[in-house]
Structure formats: C-alpha cells, structure tokens
Amino acid sequence: MFTNRKELLKLCTLSGTTEIGRNCNFVEYGDEIVMIDAGYSFPGQEMYGIDYLIPNVSYLKKNKAKIKAILITHGHLDHTGALKWILPELGYPPIYAGGFAKALIEEKMREYHMLDKVKIFGVDRKSQLRIGRNFQATFIGINHSIPDAFSIFLETPNGNVFFSGDYKIDLTPANEPQTDYDKLRQLRGRIDVALMESTNASNPGKAPSEKEIFENLTELIKKQKGRVVVAAFSSLITRLYSLIEVAKITHRKIVLSGRSLDQAIDIARKKRYITAEDSLFIKEKDINKYADNELLLLCTGSQGERFAALNRISLNEHKYIKIHKGDLIIMSSSEIPENISTIGRMTDRIIGLGADLIKDTIDLKIHSTGHGNQEDMKMMYDLIQPRTVMPIHGPLTFRYFNKQNFLKWGMRDEDILLTDDGQTWMLDGHTWRKGKKVESKPILIDGLGVGDTGDIVLKDRKQLSEFGMFVTVLNMNVKTKKIIGRPRFISRGFVYMKGSQELLKEIENLIFDIHHDWERQSQNSKTFKVEDFKDAIEKELSKLIYKKTEREPIILTVII
C-alpha cells in the first residue's frame, strides 16, 4: 500500500545531545544510513579508571550494511574521537572530512595501526557529494576554532536535515575565509530541521573575533620586557596560529611545553595552516641560552590539569621551566566551571613564585570562544531560516536558552524540538514525530577493556615519575581480622618520611578509621572481604594525600 508513497525519513540524535561531547547523529532513509560525527567525551571525576565515553552504536551495528558514510563536521575530538572504536564495529564505512580533520584523524589512525583499513576522503568548501542512492551532502564552510570546520546539509528524497556543527560568525577570522554566507542563504526554505549547537546560547552579544584577540595579544606581548608564558587549549588551532604570528612580530622564539601542543602545531604546519621556520622553535632544555625578552612559551594546562605543563611549572616541578620575577603568565583560555578552584590554586602558586598574571577579562579580551554567542546564532538563524530546529550540543539548561532565543526570534513553540540521546524522529510529510528510542547508554572505555594495557601502563609510569609511590604495610590477624601493631609506610620519590610525621600520623588514624568501618560492615554482612578494605584504604588515602600535598603518588597497600 506504500508503493506510491515516499518512505519516511528517520533522524536519530544518538549521542552528544545533552552535553558537550560524544557527538554522533544519523539519518536513515530506506535501506541507507548516513552518520554525522563520532566523538568521545571524558568521564566525570567519579569514574575512576575510565578514560573515555563513546556513543552506543548497537543500533548502527545491527544495521551496518546500510551505513554509506560517516560525515565529519570538524576535527575536534568531541566529534571524531570515537572513530577508533566505532569503525571496526561498523565495518569501516567511508569517512568524509575537511582537510584538517582528515589529517588529525589519519594521525590517530596511524598511532592505532588502523590507517590501512580506514577509507577517508577529503572535502572542501565546494564539496557536494552523492551518497548511496538517497543522499546528497553539501559541506558549507563556517568559522569555529579549528580550520576546515563545516556545517552539513543533507538532502534525501523525503526531507532535508541541516547540522550546524560547532560554529561562530567571525567577521574577521585570523587565517581562513569567512563563513560561506551565500551558501547558507541558499538553504532558506529547504531545511526541514536544523540541529543547532547550544554551547553559548545564554551568552548575549557577539563572540569576539579571532583578529581582535590576535591584536590584543600582540599589543600586550610587545610591551613585555621579560619572558611571556601563554597557556592555551591545544584544540584551538586558530589561537595557536595567532600566537605563532605574535611571536614573529615581537621577535620571540617559541618554546612548546606539552605533548598535545607539539602534535597540534606539527599537523598545522604540515597542512601549511601555520607557516614558520624551524628556527622559530627552540627546545625547552635550551631556554636558558636566550634572553628573557626573546622567549614566548606556549604551554598546556590552562585548566590546572594535574600533569600538564603549567601546573608542573606552578608546582616548581617542571624540569626546565622555572618561574622567576619578571615573567608574565597569560591565560589565553576560558575557565571550565568545574575547574575554577583548581585553576585558582594553580594561579595562586604562580603568583607566589613571583610572576605576573593576566586573565581574559571584559576590558582586555585575550580569549575568544569558538562557539557563537546569541548574536552569532541569530545571524545563522536569519541566514538559513529553517522550518524547525533542534537545539543540541549542551545540557538542558543550554538548550533551554537556545529555545528561548528561537522563540524570541519569532519561531513557534511547536517548531522547536527538544530531543534526547537515542531519540528518533520521523518526518511524515510536513511534521516531525517522535519515533522509538534506540539504545544510547554511553560505552565506557577503560583502556584495559579494549586491550589497551599500554595506555594504563603509561599512565602509571607517568604518575610514578611525577609523584612517586607510597606503600602501606599492614599486619592483620587472619582469624580476628584485627590489625596487629602499627602500619608501616614506605615512600619512594613521594615525601621524605622524617619530615612528614604529621601527615603520616593522619594517614595512620585514617587507616584505623577505615578498618573500624570495614570491620563493622563485614560483621553485619558476615563476609570479610580484605580486597574491599584495601580498595577503601587506597581510595581514601589518595584523597587525603592529594588534599594535603596536591600530589598523586601511586598508592599501594600490602596486607600480611
């Protein structure tokens, strides 16, 4: 009975809808599927030992014969990081990505020894692809914080879907063309639903241009007589470009500290997005060969990440970079809310070591987001004028504000669809109806689970080399489960025992408290699991030790 009717168009916001991270959506028509993005997210702090969360692809796995392509909006890991795990499950469907994203993905695939299996094709601002029998994809150049970022317009015989990707409208981008306004305008009247990112939906006004940031940084650094240390996100490639240009203008050599920065700049130079002579870069170990006013240090760790360069510098533990009076630290970054207190402690230490510090403020913009504020969003909306929109890429509060914006700009309530991870939507003639949910609970990647022991070993080594090891030896009576005598402690590379009597006393008390609780619980449940006792000690000790020393040694407990 459906022979003369077109088939229903199905859209699924599989993942990354309700947060910033783990983006993955797909569109299904007839016996064909096209996926958009495959990113990962980082686990919450309570998920010990979990490295990443990736989209649940059980539905796609069941239908893998249908998958014709994975289209990538841009190279950030919240849009590409899950490919490593997803591709083998889905039988390596072809990937289409902009030049920069392609280079980043290939680099990762090489690292994982998967490059020979991956089929990846480059796209550019002119690309329009026929995919399978039912799809046509148009890539539209936009500005974000990484080169070659795209919105994607996907046409099918029974409806068209627009994916904004991450974007801002930059009227003076630093080193790339502006958003392709004409192409966006041509989509008017043709978009049945637009999936719009919501990251900065509650920020009024216009996101500052990268050019403005570049000029402010230049002025600021020009005036300095001492060393300048800039903390920046290694994923904000446009900022790295600006900083390298500033170094050239101010006749400073660049010192890179942080592996992710090295990698990002390496790829940007290979892609000729950043052009710089090798002589512009000097190694960390050589910094003392240069005068202070000849140096611009770029480092990772703007969020106070424990092992990143800036934090090690602040703890005076960096092998080569020691802060001294006259240094200026510039935080060319935003503060992610959950990191604010950690960042505060780090900047306290930096100032304590005698450096000056400058943060991004309203008066002096030295950081700009890659995600548009309300005015950018309004400009995008005016250009494309979609029939319906779906706010995505943000927690409900962000999407709620995004919805308020669309209402303010004249959209009807029923044309703004709030969706959820795993939710499917069917386009039936003119209206979108909710379909069945597909499995969407994120998959936890704990390194070990996917045979990646190497990563864990590396992590341990890193922790050992940074913070050493702390061992507690307990003597326990096998029958009564009482602790005999006092605990003994062994420290290697962590603290000098004789100088830490107070801390050791506290640790000892904590161990007796934990033992007491464990004993009581075990008596109640009539099972004595020594492993649980050990786990509790290691967990509580790492908390206490971090609180007291801001260090994280490997903690081991031996019960004899």
Give the interface with Zn ion as residue ranges (CB under 5 A). 76, 78, 166
Nearer CB in complex with Zn ion: 21/301: 21
Instruction: Dump strand ranges (E) for 199-277.
Output: 228-231, 253-257
In angstroms, give the least distance from the CB of 78 to Zn ion: 4
Instruction: Determine the Cα–Cα distance for residues 364 and 75; give it in Å rounded to an integer.
Output: 29
Instruction: Determine the Cα–Cα distance for residues 43 and 389; give it in Å rounded to an integer.
Output: 29
Of 129, 131, 134, 71, the C-alpha closest to 101 is: 71
Nearer CB in complex with Zn ion: 19/78: 78
DSSP string covering 316-381, please? T--SS----TT-EEEE-S---GGGHHHHHHHHHHHHHTT-EEEE--SSS-----SS--HHHHHHHH
- Residue 204 burial (C-beta neighbours within 10 Å; 0-12, 13-18, 19+): exposed
Nearer CB in complex with Zn ion: 166/170: 166
In angstroms, give the least distance from the CB of 240 to Zn ion: 15
In angstroms, give the least distance from the CB of 21 to Zn ion: 7
- H or E stretch covering 508: helix 501-525
In angstroms, give the least distance from the CB of 79 to Zn ion: 6
Nearer CB in complex with Zn ion: 78/327: 78
Nearer CB in complex with Zn ion: 76/551: 76
For the beta sheet containing 253-257, the strands, ordered from the edge strand earlier in sequence to the opposite edge, are: 281-282, 253-257, 295-299, 228-231, 328-331, 356-359
In angstroms, give the least distance from the CB of 168 to Zn ion: 10
In angstroms, give the least distance from the CB of 178 to Zn ion: 18
Instruction: Dump strand ranges (E) for 382-429.
Output: 389-392, 423-428
Position 550, amino acid: E
How many residues are there in the chain?
560
Instruction: Determine the Cα–Cα distance for residues 499 and 410; give it in Å rounded to an integer.
Output: 68
Sign of CA dihedral 349, 332, 256, 103: positive
Nearer CB in complex with Zn ion: 76/515: 76
In angstroms, give the least distance from the CB of 173 to Zn ion: 15
In angstroms, give the least distance from the CB of 144 to Zn ion: 6
Nearer CB in complex with Zn ion: 56/200: 200
Nearer CB in complex with Zn ion: 21/93: 21
